[in-house]
Chains A and B, each alone.
Chain A
Amino acid sequence: MRLPVLDNGHRAPQKLLLRLVRLATNTEPVDVVKVFMYRPEFFGKPFCDLGHLVLRGPSDWTVGERELFGAFTSKLNACAF
């Protein structure tokens, strides 16, 4: 992570949640989750709410097709995420 604040600058509730994830999975939470949880009201919460509706809500595309669109876009951007 390029900005250390995204690794360990979380507020108490999110810090607790990240600690629980570490305990439950025995691995470090992935970076995207850390970014979503960092001051979630700024970006993570509204972005994930929208993302959930678009990827899981009613649509002419199946969930599989929609996940494919996402993976395909990442591939085009040569982004491993």
Chain B
Amino acid sequence: MLGDKLTGEILTDWRTAPISEKLRAALGFIVQLTNVPERIGPHDVATLRHLGVTERAIIDATYICVGFNIINRIADAMDFQVPQTKVFVRGAWFMRRFGYRLISGSFVGKNGGRLHSPERVTSIDPYERMMHRLQYSVFSGPGTLDALLRQAIGEGDDIDEDALRQYVNAVAQRDYKLLDRCISVLRSNGYSDDQIFEATVCAALAAGVERLRLVLDAIVLYPHTIDSDQYVVSTGPDDSAQPVPMLTSR
């Protein structure tokens, strides 16, 4: 555990807090991924890898950042009440003690709703199956909003209906000025609260999935960038003096 004081320092100014360069670099990466995801590229992966952050550690940090980007959007769009400190502290204790699985309050069995994924090539993403399951249930599973519409939100496709398009964009861009107006227009256009809730989740999840995809692409491209260790051809003087013997010369 990091302790409350250090955590406070990091949250106030992560650039100067007394933490390892690895952790600082990861926080810098999270800033980019949250605020300017489109700028993420192989060079960011290179920076982290050179500091000793493993590929898996980059993916783990990315998933946490993506998950909170999703839930933050839902929290703001649905106007969550900020709990009192007392409740918050107790909630944090509960999370530490029991983890996150319990709080969905779902009684579906362990294998309930699990997708039968087709055989796939090995992925660098250890959470891929669970992420697919989440995307499947939100964008394509049973719901009150037409699945084609949910998929369109998920893909960032253009949506014909003005109020829905504006609402989805407001959630994705975290621009909440128009939210109440959009919701009242959607309601008068016949949308149920269930459908508005589903649209909210779709928009928030899409913003997360987009970020995840950018990082995974950057990781895949990283070995092909010039500054990677693995693909530097020769730097030492010995290499150039003695060419590697060919197998056929035996």
Contact = CB atoms under 8 A, between A and B. Distances in A.
Interface string A61-80: 11111101111111111011
Given A2-B77, A69-B65, A59 B60 contact: yes
Contact-residue bracket for chain A:
35 or more
- By DSSP majority rule, is chain A's interface helix, strand, loop, or mixed? helix
B78 A1 contact: yes
A13 B105 contact: yes
Interface residues of B, number: 77
Given A2-B79, A54-B63, A71-B11, A17 B194 contact: no
Interface of B: 1-2, 7, 10-11, 14, 23, 26-27, 30-31, 34-35, 53-54, 56-57, 60-61, 63-65, 67-84, 87-88, 90-91, 99-108, 112-113, 127, 130-131, 133-134, 137-138, 141-143, 174, 179-180, 183, 193-194, 196-198, 201, 205
Interface of A: 1-6, 9, 13-14, 17-18, 25, 27, 30-33, 35-56, 59-66, 68-77, 79-81
Given A60-B57, A60-B60, 9 more contacts: A2-B78, A33-B103, A37-B105, A41-B106, A42-B138, A42-B141, A49-B101, A79-B75, A81-B75
